[in-house]
Structure 1
Amino acid sequence: MRIAIVTDAWEPQVNGVVRTLQSVQRELEKMGHEVMVISPDRFYSVPCPTYPEIRLALARVAQVGALLREFEPEAIHLATEGPLCVAARRWCLRRQLPFTTAYHTQFPDYVSARSGVPAEWIWRYIRWFHGPSAAILASTPSIRQSLVDHGLPQVRHWGRGVDLDNFRPGIVPHPKMRGLEGPIQLYVGRVAVEKNLEAFLKSSYPGTKVVVGDGPARTALEAKYPEARFLGAMFGAELASAYNAADVFVFPSRTDTFGLVMIEALACGVPVAAYPVTGPVDILDDRVGAMGEDLTDSIGRALTCDRAACAAYGSTFTWASSARQFLSALVYIGDVRIAA
């Protein structure tokens, strides 16, 4: 099958959306499918206000349509709610072509955290964007319910995976984390306000707090919390070595829909402490982590979890399974002629 994926999130961005799309693309191509990704690097772009690391493509509907028409896709998926996917959405609607969309991020909460705009105002846009979609792909039951509650019932499940060749127990701990006072409490992800990282950094549990990742809030947080170790961005085997050096993984975000880093940590045998919100409540139980409104207490309880149980559970999340779920949710264009 020829599958077109349109996305406003792509390299050089480093986030869960990009990693998910790249991992699923690889799995689909292994299955023999042909995948074209239409991403901002194909167009002139400008920095996103308040978030310059994200580039917003200035693409006309005709430009996006020309790429789609030339590829002649048998299925079209719009991965994000940004301007590039809006252009593709308009092109599809004008030609009465079915498409699917995905809800990767608690976008209303995310925008509200960065701008102060009430989240319910953003939900109006979410309903407008996803309303015509033949299926909205969502990663967890709680996100599905949230979409249904906001008038978007056409939700299909699309889970996430782990690169189990990289993320597993028994890897030599990262050298920068050796000799640190334990327990070592690790955060991995963007260092940005919407990740609620400060809730972790100001928690009072003894030991060493380690932050792996980069982002616009890093300079300010490093200055405010000098006792924490900020190690910058890591990937692949290096990131796996950081997980393996940790005693507990702390996930303070309240706006993620899933949290890939949680299952990567679990696959390495590291228990997770988090808030009882969308993402953690769908992934964790008391065998592999702890949740509560007191993050310090959750860290302490998570440290009592069995690491072997964490690794066994984390190994059940595979990208091959995720790709099969994605494929089953796509809507075949069929014999509809893709007109100019």
Structure 2
Amino acid sequence: MKICDLTQMYSSQGGGVRSYLLAKRAYIREHTSHQHLLIVPGSRTEQIEGGRCQMWTVRGPLVNQTSRYRWMLDLPALLRILYLERPDVVESGDPYHAALVSRNWANRRGSKFYMFYHSHFPDALLRTVLKFAGPWARSVTEQLAADYLRHLATGGHGVFVGSRHLTQVLGAWGVPRLIHLPLGVDTTCFHTVTEERKRELRRKLNLPEDVRVVLYVGRFSPDKDTTLLLRCWQRMQEMAEKKWVGVMVGDGQMKPMVETFTRTHDCLRMVPFLKESKELAEWYQAADLLIHPGRWETFGLVLLEAQACGLPVVAFRGGAMEEQAYDVSQWAKERSSDSLAEAVCRRMERETGAEKDQLRTFIERKFSWQQTFARQMAEYEA
């Protein structure tokens, strides 16, 4: 069987969708006899990897001048690749125009079409619409999004959804053939370390050994609530009784703002995007707490990576990420920078590292890539 994944939500500089796709390719290569075809946007249309696991790029412009993502606009080129490779299964990692084109191609050829709902795209639409049209446009935008998703999914074989929360949302909208499929994490890379190793990592990464280290990992952009996070750091400086250091690991369109902010706040530092998972794991292993300010997340792979390293997490209550957390009792109840800062400060006061083993066990039991892809392959093969 030849399995094709295509998405615009792919960047060589990381991201949750890229992590999912690379893990999937590794699973197919090591545990199945299937072939894999990955199609993502690029600066030109070309095949960049061959063999059993191929990779093609389709020419498309950058989303904006500071973005690491591209639009997949050359749809004739996409169709030429599909006709050339003739995959038996096509999975789209986003619901946009390329998904509609590939769904129609799959239906004409008799291939199976699936979608993985990595991003709750009505939220992205609402952020733009509400900025220009005001609150009255909310219900109209949500209705249009629901109608489009129903149309797209009706012609396919299923929609994979990472969280039960979003499965319920999409089900209420009438989107058919929903398949709950939690994502996973590589626990051979992301794992706990001894206290001695943690001290070694603190010295290696130039982190103080005697203060709390609060870590953020992710893109610096409006959809990741970077501005809210910066306000949260500011409030933590005013609230916290003990010394702490905040570290922001990532990149994105708001990088200049983050650089300016960290330069003017001695307790903060910015670390550029880390492409190697082992390097990123060291930051998790050296820290005491992960902070996640996102209010629009559909899953949150960084939560799994952090907890696999024994790192507790603080985020907002009421979203899809609660399903990926071992303990949400100390999470912020109000979606504001003040509430998040208070929650982080409370957690810093009580953090002892005693939950490290429970966190890792929780992740190993519920969130392995092997479980994810074994279930997915069974669905493809049915």
Does the aligned pair in 2 maintain the 1:177–1:242 contact within 8 Å? no
> How far did residue 272 of structure 1 move?
0.3
Q: Give the 3-state SS of the residue equivalent to 1:330 in structure 2.
A: helix
Q: Does 1:158 align with 2:158?
A: no
Deviates more, 1:66-75 or 1:97-106: 66-75
* 1:187–1:249 Cα contact (<8 Å) kept: yes
The answer on 1:220 being equivalent to 2:220 is no
Greater shift, 110-119 or 86-95, is seen at: 110-119
Once residues 279 and 50 of structure 1 are traced to their aligned partners in structure 2, the CA distance between those partners, rounded to angstroms, is 31
Give secondary structure in 2 for the equivalent of 1:64: helix
CA shift for structure 1 position 26: 1.0
Q: Which residue does the alignment assign to 1:338?
A: none
Aligned to 1:310: 359
Gaps of 5+ in 1: 333-340
Q: 2:344 aligns with which of 296, 299, 305?
A: 299
Write out the 4+ residue segments of structure 1 that deviate beyond 6 Å after TM superposition.
Answer: none
Q: Which amino acid aligns with 1:183?
A: R
In structure 2, what is the equivalent of residue 107 of structure 1?
121
Deviations 1:255-302 (A, max 9, x none): 111100001000000000010133322122437963532212322444
Q: Distance in 2 between matches of 1:331 and 1:324?
A: 11
**1:337: which partner in 2?**
none
Amino acid at match of 1:222: E
1:56 maps to which of 71, 80, 84? 71
Counterpart code for 2:225: N
* TM score, norm. by length of structure 1: 0.88
* Higher alpha-carbon deviation: 279-288 or 225-234: 279-288
Work out whether residues 284 and 290 of structure 1, in 8 Å CA contact, stay in contact via their aligned partners in 2. Answer: no
Between 142-151 and 9-18, report the one with greater CA deviation.
9-18
Distance in 1 (CA, whole Å) between partners of 2:58 and 2:119 is 24
Query: Does the 8 Å CA contact 1:201/1:209 hold for their aligned counterparts?
Result: no
Please state how far the C-alpha of 1:127 moved relative to its aligned partner. Answer: 3.2
1:126 is aligned to 149
Which residue in the other structure is 2:46 paired with? Answer: none
Equivalent AA in structure 2 for residue 68 of structure 1: L
CA 114–183 in structure 1, closer or farther in 2 if over 3 Å, else same: farther
1:176 aligned onto 2:205: yes
Deviation at 1:147, TM superposition (A): 0.8
2:67 counterpart SS class: strand
Which structure features the higher share of helix residues? Answer: 2
The residue number in structure 2 matching 1:20 is 20
CA RMSD of aligned residues (A): 2.5
In the alignment, the residues of structure 2 paired with residue 138 and residue 47 of structure 1 have an alpha-carbon distance, to the nearest angstrom, of: 27
CA deviation string 1:160-188 (max 9, x = no partner): 11111211111552533521762211100
The one-letter code matched in structure 1 to 2:222 is V
How many equivalent residue pairs?
331
Moved more, 95-104 or 243-252: 95-104
The residue type paired with residue 321 of structure 1 is Q
Structure 1 residues 302 and 280, CA gap change in structure 2 (3 angstroms): farther
**Residue 106 of structure 1: CA displacement?**
1.6
Which of 284, 305, 310 in structure 2 is aligned with 1:269? Answer: 310
Q: Alpha carbons of 1:177 and 1:242: their partners in 2 closer, same or farther (altered >3 Å)?
A: farther
- The whole-number CA distance in structure 2 between the counterparts of 1:243 and 1:13 is 18
Q: Residue 84 of structure 1 is aligned with which of 73, 93, 98?
A: 98
In 1, Cα distance between the equivalents of 2:180 and 2:346?
31
The CA distance in 2 between the partners of 1:315 and 1:64, in whole Å, is 38
Offset of residue 2 of structure 1:
1.8
Q: What is the CA–CA distance in structure 1 between the aligned matches of 2:296 and 2:184, rounded to whole Å?
A: 19
Gaps in structure 2 of 5+ consecutive residues: 43-56, 133-137
Q: Quick one: distance in 1 between partners of 2:29 and 2:330?
A: 35
Farther-moved stretch of structure 1 (226-235 vs 133-142): 226-235
Counterpart for residue 255 of structure 1: 296
* Cα deviation digits, residues 86-109 of structure 1 (max 9, x gap): 321232244454311110012111
For residue 66 of structure 1, the aligned residue among 80, 87, 92 is: 80
Alignment-mate amino acid for residue 159 of structure 1: P
Identity across matched positions, percent: 24
Secondary structure of 1:14's counterpart equals coil
Structure 2: how far apart are the matches of 1:91 and 1:132?
11
Does the 8 Å contact 1:268/1:314 carry over to 2? no
